[in-house]
Amino acid sequence: MTIHILMAVYNGGAALAEQLDSIAAQKDVAWHLFASDDGSSDNSRAVLDAFAEGHPVTRLDGPGQGGTANFLSLIAQAPEGWVAFCDHDDVWLPDKLARAQAALAGIEGPALYCARTWIVDADLQNRRLSAARPRPPGFANALVQNIASGNTTVLNPAGAALLRRHAAGAAGVEVHDWWAYLLITGAGGRVVHDDRPALLYRQHGANMIGANDTTRARLHRIRRLLAGDFADWNRRNIAALHSARADLTPQNAAVLDAFAELPRLPVHRRLAALRRLGLYRQGRMGQAALWLAALLGRM
């Protein structure tokens, strides 16, 4: 059961070799790397070409429209079978892929594996564990929060096929991993969140998203939520889910419709609907921010 690793690359030459070495060191699993370079101006392509001389690698040209579009392009082109998302600047632990495949073994419908990470600095030092996820994964969480960190995500063949089928309709989403979490849960699939870290998540000035594990980082995201960014992300996610509506469960399609109506409701009805739908974020601060966003009409 080969896992197709989808790596989006853009000017990652400084850290790329360490990530590639960690892929080569994966235990007890077969893999094939599909690396899509989005127009790098550094030595990324040379590093990939050198690695390809002794490993199963297919190098592709990205669409040149940013990281999310690059990942969506990779998803659309991925062969049938298992799929793992991969950033170009992390370092995987040796059992990452084998552990993910074991966690999803035997699940027939769409399924997604994700995990905690070791957050490290640019030199892979000063480890700290990413935030725990005390509440279970589900569509009611996915509508208002992403817990499926893309650099840890692995999809079983049914999950990968679901994403591939709807990749074109997701062109406007903010991030590919949140869309994956939404689509898998919306279709009634399984999400397995591993409390054990799966990789070293390198933090530097060019992170596409970055860790969200400090009070300062959480407050920054909450400010963005209250500034209206959250509402914009939601509109994009809703549009992508509407394009995949045929694969949503009837119950989740109804939840999606009610969620899409929230911004148009008066305050008292909006708050009542939020409670009725059971939407939730993982932490107390995040949950409080969700209620505040609903109160202020920032959803």
Name the DSSP letter for residue 99: H
Write out the H or E segment, with its range, that includes residue 44.
helix 44-52
User: What is d(CA 35, CA 101) in angstroms, rounded to the nearest whole number?
Assistant: 21
Give the pair of three-digit tokens for residue 218: 């959480």
The whole-number pLDDT of residue 11 equals 97
The whole-number pLDDT of residue 19 equals 98
User: What is d(CA 8, CA 35) in angstroms, rounded to the nearest whole number?
Assistant: 6
User: What is d(CA 9, CA 13) in angstroms, rounded to the nearest whole number?
Assistant: 9
Q: Is the dihedral angle over the CA atoms 217, 8, 232, 110 positive or is it negative? A: negative
The whole-number pLDDT of residue 299 equals 85
- What phi and psi, each to the nearest 5 degrees, are found at residue 16? -60, -40
- Give the SS3 label for residue 187: coil
Digit-by-digit pLDDT tens for the chain (299 residues) are: 899 999 999 999 999 999 999 999 999 999 999 999 999 999 999 999 999 999 999 999 999 999 999 999 999 999 999 999 999 999 999 999 999 999 999 999 999 999 999 999 999 999 999 999 999 999 999 999 999 999 999 999 999 999 999 999 999 999 999 999 999 999 999 999 999 999 999 997 655 555 555 667 667 767 777 777 889 999 999 999 999 999 999 999 999 999 999 999 999 999 999 999 999 999 898 899 899 999 998 88
User: What is d(CA 262, CA 143) in angstroms, rounded to the nearest whole number?
Assistant: 12
Is the Cβ–Cβ distance between 164 and 81 less than 8 Å?
no
Give the burial class of 155: count Cβ atoms within 10 A of its Cβ; 0-12 exposed, 13-18 middle, 19 or more buried. Answer: buried
Q: What is the pTM of this model?
A: 0.93
The whole-number pLDDT of residue 14 equals 94
Angle in degrees, CA 211, 216, 217, rounded to 5: 25
User: What is d(CA 241, CA 173) in angstroms, rounded to the nearest whole number?
Assistant: 10
Which single residue is written with the structure tokens 């409701």?
A: 265
In sequence order, the β-bridge partners of residue 245 are none
